[in-house]
A and B are shown apart, each in its own frame.
Chain A
């Protein structure tokens, strides 16, 4: 399977701070990029998707994509304790397959 790499963490940030999550991928043919949040024992839920180079903002979340560097990131502003979860990066090529990283565990400290 194609490689998707994430720093497993754990990443700890104080409440109200910015959390920065990073992801690199190996397949240069990848076209579609997703961030999912997964709480312990639950299934992944979509936070954001991004297709084009640059930034995409949705509320407190900003996804950043740099295809030349094969790098995608997620910024969470004004982090809340409820943001504490594992964040999964997923990458899709042109064949409908999705490949996931192992996730970064985020803890927001009140």
Chain B
């Protein structure tokens, strides 16, 4: 089945130790997104790629970086995790905006739960 896969599902890291989260998709979608979701909060968009075109949200901390080496894979790098970065990290994909200006649906992976000790 076509899907969005995230690895690992659970990640534990130490304060300040760099960590990389992985996302892959078999949907062949143009757009890939990274969200951060803390308990009882809305998913917060960090950045997205349209193909190789990177789009950063204005309030995304510099501590968060992303790479998309090809259509299928996207990585989230947290350079120096702090206690406040503990959250669920969600990857999503979409075909993107149509010619009509309407945006196609997003499909989410299962998420990676990050714990910072």
Binding site for B on A (CB under 8 A): 1, 4, 8, 31-32, 34, 42-46, 49, 51, 88, 90, 92-103
Contacts and interface: CB of A to CB of B under 8 A. Distances in A.
Nearest to B108: A43
11 contacts: A4-B42, A31-B101, A32-B103, A43-B88, A44-B43, A46-B107, A49-B105, A95-B97, A96-B55, A98-B103, A98-B106
B81 interface: no
Contacts of B92: 98
Contact of A1 (B45, B50, B101, B107): B45
A43 to B, nearest CB: 4
Contacts of B111: 42-43
The 5 A-B pairs at the shortest CB distance, nearest first, are namely: A92-B103, A100-B42, A43-B108, A32-B103, A102-B42
Contact of B103 (A1, A43, A96): A96
Contact of A96 (B59, B88, B97): B97
Contacts of A93: 103
Given A96-B48, A96-B55, A98-B33, A46 B105 contact: yes
A90 B94 CA distance: 14
B42 A51 contact: no
B108 A45 contact: yes
Contacts of A101: 42
B103 A44 contact: no
B106 A34 contact: yes
A97 B48 CA distance: 8
A73 B39 CA distance: 24
